[in-house]
Amino acid sequence: MKQLTGLDASFLNMETPNTFGHVTGLMLFDRPSPDFDPYAAVYEKYASLVGELEPMRRRLVEVPFGLDKPYWVFDPHFDIDYHIREISIARPGLVDQLADQVCRIVGRPMDRSRPLWEVYVIDGLANGWWGMLTKFHHATIDGAAGQLMLESVLSTNPDDGPPPESPRWEPEPIPGQTEMLRLTLEKLARNPLMAVRTQTRMLRTVAKALGIADLSGASSFVRDSVYKLMGRPTRERPWVMMPLTSAPPTPWNKSITPHRRFAMRTTSLENIKRLKNATGGTVNDIVMAICAGGLRQYLLAHDALPDKPLRAMVPVSIRTGNESDPWTNRVSGLVAELPTHCDDPLERIELCRKAMGVAKQQFELMPAESLIDIAQSSPPVVSAAAARLASKLKLADRFTMPANLVISNVPGPREPLYFAGAQLQHQFPVSIVTDGQGLNITVTSYMDRLDFGFIVDRDLVPDVWELADMHIEEITRLLRASGTEAAESPRAAPRRGPMQKVLEAKRASGKAKAKKAAVKKKPATGKKTAAKRKPAVKRKAAVKRKAAK
């Protein structure tokens, strides 16, 4: 039995009837042979990993009354048939039909009485491909741990044989409430001292980062801070303004519903690299500039563009590689400005580069380890109650968050990966939206392409596909502005569109065909009618001759 860390538990405590703490990934594969059975292959592979990968066999045990963080135990009632499922997309199986199924799966909470993962095999795609949707709770793994797990699932060898049997593992009995209360009381006795140590360590670390060595240094820093706010000159000291004010409001910075929309788009990674070389930035600078330009176009189209730049929260992994337990969260974040107020594409790239530099300095001022320590000493019952109360009161409709959205750029492998001989073609991330942040953009690179995943609240951003297309259009705009030749023309995969419009188009097409057929029939009143009358005239003449005889 192992207790969750404070950061792990925070992803459980954030959940409300409208907000879910699971992260999802959609992988699309080709079909190595006509008789390939993707469901059988996925079932066999994951069954072999249960004894190898700890997150797949452990379930939660809650502490009574939420007095302390939950514990993990190896599930004594583990049932792999519950975790691996299959669905098929209706014809024609286009990309937006696939996205609709993803939204339905993402918009359902996970059963906490079972290990917090699910895998869906999705067949029936138009091009003969098939999909695998993995759904893991963020309390179980973070993005970096997810990549470690992905390495166990995929292979660089297309000719890998069948997976071996799962290593044996021992289930654990589920402890009763009495035992959980005993463990909790022992910990609570130590918790006040732990909280004090955490706060002292955090203040000391922040003071060191700011160059404060003693009390006089602290008073000088306060004086310089006040002078800076008043616009008066200060002594030479690196100055970083922390994001203390609210971000400017946008249509998606409101309370969310439990329903989602999802869109996915792909572009050439070589185009991004050429833009990087032409502008002197990094790949991440270009990705941020693409998001800034795409969001600018979307807000202009909705007459909702703020005068001030938007703010993006950018997740950052703080893994060192020396962690004793890889299956836990080691993630923090920084806040960077998005220059949506700027109309020059090249200037937006430069502003993104500077904004990321400032955000990294801010990140260093508040070390991630201290934030994790704070989460470690926070009572779960308070955190969960606060999240539920904020959702119930719809506080996100009254106050704007410090950041407008989350943007994440995850570097992926450059070599092709395979699953049971099927080559991975795309890897689309599906992340989390929360109250006040109804839009999340996550980008993953794989081989020679960049895959965008847009997850939104269904009501706040109903036209998410248009938003996704605007991001792809922004790449063309940046290439043109920088005079860079495209390695590959940005293009969008075909989609069916809303069924209402499909039916309207079908009706309009049917009416046009009927009208065309009617026009073709009109000339039949000429020659054909005369031809039909001819036999009647001949019969009349024959009758007259017969009568004359």
Read off the pLDDT of residues 71-116 as tens digits, 9 standing for 90 and up: 999 999 999 999 999 999 998 999 999 999 999 999 999 999 999 9
Question: What is the b/e burial string over 186-200, where b = at least 16 CB atoms within 10 angstroms of the residue's CB?
Answer: eeeeeeeeeeeebee
24 domain-assigned: no
392 domain-assigned: yes
490 domain-assigned: yes
285 domain-assigned: yes
Task: Return the pLDDT at 228.
Answer: 47
As to burial, measured by CB atoms within 10 angstroms (0-12 exposed, 13-18 middle, 19+ buried), residue 208 is exposed
The answer to whether the beta carbons of residues 327 and 145 sit under 8 Å apart is yes
Residues facing residue 135 across a β-bridge: 24, 118
CATH number at residue 471: 3.30.559.30
Query: How many angstroms separate the CA atoms of 492 and 208, rounded?
Result: 50
536 domain-assigned: no
Query: How many angstroms separate the CA atoms of 337 and 316, rounded?
Result: 16
Band of residue 148 on the pLDDT scale cut at 50, 70, 90? confident
Mean pLDDT on 160-176: 92
pTM for this structure?
0.80
The answer to whether the beta carbons of residues 270 and 276 sit under 8 Å apart is no
State the total domains in the chain.
1
Segments forming the whole domain that contains residue 404: 260-365+383-409+430-499
200 domain-assigned: no
242 domain-assigned: no
Query: How many angstroms separate the CA atoms of 166 and 163, rounded?
Result: 9
pLDDT for 420-432, tens place per residue?
999 999 999 999 9
Task: Return the pLDDT at 524.
Answer: 53
The answer to whether the beta carbons of residues 444 and 453 sit under 8 Å apart is yes
Task: Return the pLDDT at 99.
Answer: 95
What is the biggest distance separating any 2 CA atoms in the chain, rounded to whole angstroms?
142
Tokens (6 digits) for 139: 């309390």
Residues facing residue 437 across a β-bridge: 434
358 domain-assigned: yes
